[in-house]
Structure 1
């Protein structure tokens, strides 16, 4: 949410804004669980909460990949936050962002890279073990719309 608001609308000077803030994430997460329970979807609520909060945790530990320190400022908006972008690429920033990320991965120590990719690999394995939910619906949609 923050990145489109930054890159497309210019509402934030970086891709980290209100949704990346623990001041929003904690109350939203705590409100989400009872709502999901009321809708009889507690597992879905827990999954969204784990995904949301682990994303913020990943933003805090991300600088460790390149030998930096923990970046708590990434989740303390509006009190703290990353420095504004040097160049405003608008929506093109997404392509620049992915390119820089992939370039940075090529220069990382293999053990650090493995630890960084461990969570997505575990999530993918869990998705497969759960029967790859959503895939059948996507196949049906593609086959009926084409």
Structure 2
């Protein structure tokens, strides 16, 4: 899944959760936590695998449930101790949602779900490891993506992509507009 898609999924989920569970709109700290959390697994795995060759692949440590679940729980706990529980939840939720989003993203392009990426080191890492060539590896993936989405078969995917991004943008606009009007806490008035 691409970074903008992960951020959209994370923000939609956190915005809806915060509106329904705690009747609050996400604030700026939660927005940054969603951004960092939703990109977290890739910010760990891609540079360390593709750039430095420290990890065995682009889907390894950061995408592993053995790392992700304790990290998310720790983020929630530390944030709660600091009086910023909602920020920890925003980070933890968006980090954890990154994982199933990657697992099922392969299905969109006709492949089976990639459950194996969740269980590194018990399952070999996927996603290539080219030491010192982070940009080339990212460009290779993006070129393949562009080739896939410029075919007539990609129209349903592109419609779904547009709906995902439009939903995230709409919720962000609504949340931001409410904060500018001086209503950061209440979701209705």
Query: Do they fold alike, i.e. is TM over 0.5?
Result: yes
CA distance in 2, matches of 1:30, 1:86: 29
1:11-30 correspondence runs (5 A): 11-30=54-73
Deviation (angstroms), 1:12: 2.4
Instruction: Give matches, 1:74-89, under 5 Å.
Output: 74-83=117-126, 85=128
Provide the TM-score with structure 1 as the length reference.
0.75
Q: Decide whether the 8 Å contact of 2:45 with 2:62 is kept in 1.
A: yes
> What is the match of residue 7 of structure 2?
none
Segments of 5+ residues of structure 2 without an aligned counterpart are 1-43, 178-189
Q: Kindly indicate whether residue 16 of structure 2 is the aligned counterpart of residue 4 of structure 1.
A: no
Displacement after TM superposition at 1:37 (Å): 1.2
Report whether the alignment pairs 1:128 with 2:176.
no
1:12-51 matched pairs, under 5 angstroms: 12-51=55-94
3-state DSSP of counterpart to 2:100: helix
Alignment of 1:105 with 2:149, yes or no, is: yes
Normalised by the size of structure 2, how large is the TM-score? 0.60
**What is the root-mean-square deviation of aligned Cα atoms in Å?**
2.5
Measured against aligned partners, the alpha-carbon deviations of 1:28-70 in whole angstroms (never above 9, x if no partner) come to: 1112112111122222111111211111111110111111111
Counterpart CA distance in 1 for 2:117 and 2:158 is 21
Aligned residues: 132
Q: Greater relative contact order: 1 or 2 (C-alpha under 8 angstroms, separation 6 or more)?
A: 2
Residue 2 of structure 1 contacts residue 19 of structure 1 at CA under 8 Å; is this kept in 2?
yes
